[in-house]
Amino acid sequence: MSIEAEQKACNPVPIVDSNFNPAAVLPYGLQIEHIRAFMSAFLDFLGFVNTQLHTKEIIRLETMLMPANFSSIVGEFMSSTLPKYYSGLTKNKYHNGHPDLVPTGLFPNDAVQHSPHGIEIKASRYLRAWQGHNPEDVWLMVFVFDCNRPRDTAPRPFQFVMVVGAQLVKNDWVFSGRAETSRRTITASVTDSGYQKMMANWIYRKSGVQQVK
């Protein structure tokens, strides 16, 4: 592995302003500029961490962690950071509460175990087949990204590929099956109807990214 290539991969691909959709419909007063701000904040965070790791000859964060763990970090960063840029939403302070973001002041101590009011945040490497824990009515926002996995050998920098979001209902989800020998947690996947809703309301999309059949 080239040291120069690895060093270059420490710096994420910058946000491209023209990739945002000014016609996207966002809930709770959220605006495109708020989303851009915390996407950029994550790029700054990851670039700083990876650069520091590189000075100690330690592999980048995304190649160190299991893919699911890294995706979780991306999603948690988003739900924790957005309130810094938009006071109308705040992180749900209920442990494992749903959704991730709730309207500020709607619930006592901004904590609720389960509510249809708010935004659920997901981060994924995949262009569809997004998953949650249960079929439910929720405004879902998915941040799709591309980056190295631990098994990769050719370094490439992190980049956001797409952001989509829409109000989904229970019929937009289906439980995902699993083999009898699998120990994977049972999850629900967004169906084609939910996928179409979200793609119709794309928020950010890298040039060349198309719908997946």
Q: Tens of pLDDT along the chain (213 residues)? A: 578 899 999 999 999 999 999 999 999 999 999 999 999 999 999 999 999 999 999 999 999 999 999 999 999 999 999 889 999 999 999 998 999 999 999 999 999 999 999 999 999 999 988 987 678 899 999 999 999 999 998 999 999 999 999 999 999 999 765 545 544 556 789 999 999 999 999 999 999 887 776
> At a CB cut-off of 8 Å and minimum separation 6, what does 3 contact?
none
Whether cis (ω within 30° of 0) applies to the bond prior to 116 is no
Cβ neighbour number for residue 73 with a 10 Å cutoff = 16
Answer for the pair 141, 168: CB distance below 8 angstroms, yes or no.
Answer: no
Report the half-sphere exposure of 90 (CA within 13 A, side-chain side): 14
Cα gap 96→114, rounded to integer Å: 9
Q: What is the pLDDT of residue 182?
A: 46
Separation CA 119–CA 112 (nearest Å): 13
pLDDT of residue 213: 64
DSSP-based three-state secondary structure for 205: strand
**Domain limits, the chain:** 3-11+21-205
pLDDT score, position 183: 45
Which structure tokens are listed for 155? 């370094």
- Angle 28-30-31 from CA coordinates, rounded to 5°: 150
CA 153 from centre of chain: 24
Q: What SS3 state is found at 177?
A: coil
Distance CA 198, CA 192 (A): 10
**Stated pTM of the model:** 0.92
In CATH, the number for domain 3-11+21-205 is 3.40.600
